[in-house]
Amino acid sequence: MPNRSKDWMRQAERDLEQARDSRSAGRHEWACFAAQQAAEKAVKSLHLFLGQEAWGHVVRKLLEELPKTIVIPEILLDKARVIDAFYIPTRYANGHPSGPPFEHYGKLQSDEAIRYAGEIIEFCHSQMA
């Protein structure tokens, strides 16, 4: 089976571009979700690069499942926890007690999501260099 890690990383980078485009358009819920997807795909890319499969959508867990030889800064795990909170409620009307998702996300959240996803992508790039 061919190693598709570069394909996953390229898509992660494109998802981050989508997050930035969504933020610029004021679609902050989509910016947050696209940032989560970017981070998830980058970590899956690293797993593939290392010759292992990864399943699931929890970025923190995906990071923790990397080989123990890879030192993951605790702050990066904390940032992954923030990113993980954007997986479901950014998309579903019942993800919050009331109101559609777009009412619950603004520039503050999308800026943070994009910044943290970028840091996770950079971490994965550094491990693949």
Go through the domains of the chain in sequence order and give each one's CATH number. 5-128 (1.20.120.330)
Q: What is the mean pLDDT of the chain?
A: 97
**Length of the chain measured in residues:** 129
pLDDT at residue 6 is higher than 70: yes
Q: Is residue 35 within 8 Å of 17, Cβ to Cβ? A: no
Nearest to 59 by CA among 33, 34, 32, 77: 77
Which one has a higher pLDDT value, 1 or 56?
56
Query: Do the Cβ atoms of 110 and 31 come closer than 8 Å?
Result: yes
Q: For residue 20, what are its two tokens?
A: 């930035």
Interior/surface letters 14-30, b for 16+ CB within 10 angstroms, e for the rest: ebbebbbebbeeebbbb
Predicted confidence (pLDDT) per residue in 32-84, tens digit:
999 999 999 999 999 999 999 999 999 999 999 999 999 999 999 999 999 99
- Res 1 pLDDT > 80: no
pTM (two decimals): 0.96
Our CA angle for 46, 125, 8, nearest 5°, is: 50
Helix axes of 107-128 and 5-24: crossing angle, nearest 10 degrees: 160
